[in-house]
Amino acid sequence: MKTLKQLLFLLLPISLFAQEQKIILGAGYFWGVERYFENLHGIQEVTVGYAGGDYPNPTYQTLLNHRFDTNMINHAEVVQIIYDDANISTQELLQSFWELHDPTQGNHQGNDRGNNYRSAIYTTTLEQQKIAHETKEVYQMLLNKAGYGKITTEIKPLRHFYLAEAYHQDYLKKHPHGYCPNHATGVKFTRPSKSPTTPLTPLKEKEIIVISAPFCPFCKMFQKEVLANYHGSIPLRVAQKNQLQGFKNLPTIVGTPTLLYIQDGKVIQSHTGYIDAKNFYKTLGAFKLGEESEGYKVAFEQKTDGRFCKQYKAFQNTGDDIFIDKISGEPLFDTHDRFNSGSGWLSFTKAIDGATLQKEDNSFGMHRTEVIAKKSGAHLGHVFDDGPNGLPRFCINATILEFVPREEIKNLPPKSQ
């Protein structure tokens, strides 16, 4: 039996002549596996298909039909990878394969059950076969130390690769509102690291943690379209799942991005998959305010504050500062534009430039113009044409607002004159 040190030595690159190579790998549902390997440097082409079975011309439906069949060998969902081993060695590629999923699960991966989801390596050279077994032996030792069981990965020479149907190719590119499956154990091969993984521990308050992954396009899209513009008061942190320490009620992370809504270190709800800004802020509103709160019902059920409500009275004599959206943190109204209409609702002659949207509202048999927070999509109130000196009157619900000092707001437009 080789020692771990001896095996690590054997994994040193041994090929002196770089060339284009092909290998077929199965690590669960093939959409996410395809997307993962497409993002590795040195990969030339990734194609999804079927391999490893004992019958010809499989289709996606035949795989599903035979996924629990014990009287035949079903095909596995796999990816065919064309790579240049001058840029990524077979060893590096297979180390990424082992780390990508849980190779001890047998005929399933996460919630996907069936022999078509099995872990598999189908090689096209003797060198690949050798490296596959060597990396497996090393990874088994690492898994043993982490408390995992025996690797069940099938390692065989490739007999035939069948191309999957066209609609499966680049599926996650064609369907951008999904998520990247994540079944990794978190066990890593030993590599030099520029920065060790920093543990992430709970805050003693409400917070949101976004579980991300380096090669997840949905994570990048969520970062660009939602997180980059987030200014809410609830702390929001981005992490990888192996960073989390000390949290209670953690769900199984099956994909990225996954949003964890946490209170006092306990996960109270979660969401896996890309979520657009409108739905993110609606969920955030429920988390921060409570679905039964007056503020939430005003913001997302188009309710209206009572006249001279408690929050209105609290805001009645504020100084010269800024009202912000309680959910998104975006500035909405400036006290410079406030006036006392006597209506029992906060009244302004205008909103901060670019902060709100307006749309026609014909509910309850009336013809009004609704005012909506542009960032969060929250209902704010209505605008009428009976303000002072011929100006509009923005009639705004107080329970959806917070009041902050002007100096806390960055890039605030100048006061209107």
Q: Where are the beta strands (DSSP E) in 217-321?
A: 236-239, 255-256, 258-263, 266-272
Query: What are residue 322's phi and psi, to 5 degrees?
Result: -125, 140
Residue 173's beta-bridge partner residues? none
Supply the CATH number for residue 346's domain.
2.170.150.20
Say yes or no to pLDDT of 369 above 90: yes
Q: Is 32 helix (H, G, I), strand (E, B) or coil?
A: helix
Residue 268 lies in a domain: yes
What local confidence, expressed as pLDDT, does residue 197 receive?
A: 65
Q: Are residues 109 and 166 in the same domain?
A: yes
Q: Name, in order, each residue with C-beta under 8 angstroms of 200's C-beta and a sequence gap of 6 or more.
A: 209, 237, 239, 243, 244, 245
Q: Are residues 15 and 151 in the same domain?
A: yes
Q: Are residues 211 and 339 in the same domain?
A: no
Q: Is 331 helix (H, G, I), strand (E, B) or coil?
A: strand
Residue 183 lies in a domain: no
Say yes or no to pLDDT of 18 above 70: no
Average pLDDT of the chain is 87
What local confidence, expressed as pLDDT, does residue 38 receive?
A: 85
Q: What is the 3-state secondary structure (H, E, C) of 118-146?
A: CEEEEECCHHHHHHHHHHHHHHHHHHHHC
Q: Are residues 133 and 229 in the same domain?
A: no
Domain count, the chain: 3
Q: Give per-residue pLDDT as tens, 384-410.
A: 999 999 999 999 999 999 998 887 776
Q: Are residues 76 and 23 in the same domain?
A: yes
Q: Are residues 170 and 231 in the same domain?
A: no
Q: Are residues 398 and 334 in the same domain?
A: yes
Residue 191 lies in a domain: no
Q: Are residues 264 and 314 in the same domain?
A: no
CA 128 to chain CA mean position, Å: 34
Q: Name, in order, each residue with C-beta under 8 angstroms of 287's C-beta and a sequence gap of 6 or more.
A: 206, 208, 234, 261, 268, 269
Q: Which of 220, 249, 275 is the last residue of a domain?
A: 275
Q: Where are the beta strands (DSSP E) in 52-114?
A: 76-84, 108-109, 112-113
Q: What is the CA radius of gyration of the chain?
A: 28
> Distance between CA atoms of 213 and 257, rounded to whole angstroms?
7
Question: Any idea of the CA torsion for 83, 111, 72, 136, to the nearest 10 degrees?
Answer: 40
State the pLDDT confidence band at 135, using cuts at 50, 70 and 90: very high
Stretch among 95-99, 217-221, 247-251, 262-266 having the lowest mean pLDDT: 217-221
Q: Are residues 349 and 395 in the same domain?
A: yes
Say yes or no to pLDDT of 268 above 90: yes
What local confidence, expressed as pLDDT, does residue 318 receive?
A: 83
Q: Are residues 215 and 153 in the same domain?
A: no
- Note down the domain range covering 144: 4-175
Q: Tokens 């406030």 — which residue?
A: 338
pLDDT above 90 as % of the chain = 61
Residue 130 lies in a domain: yes
Q: Are residues 8 and 135 in the same domain?
A: yes
Q: Are residues 370 and 222 in the same domain?
A: no
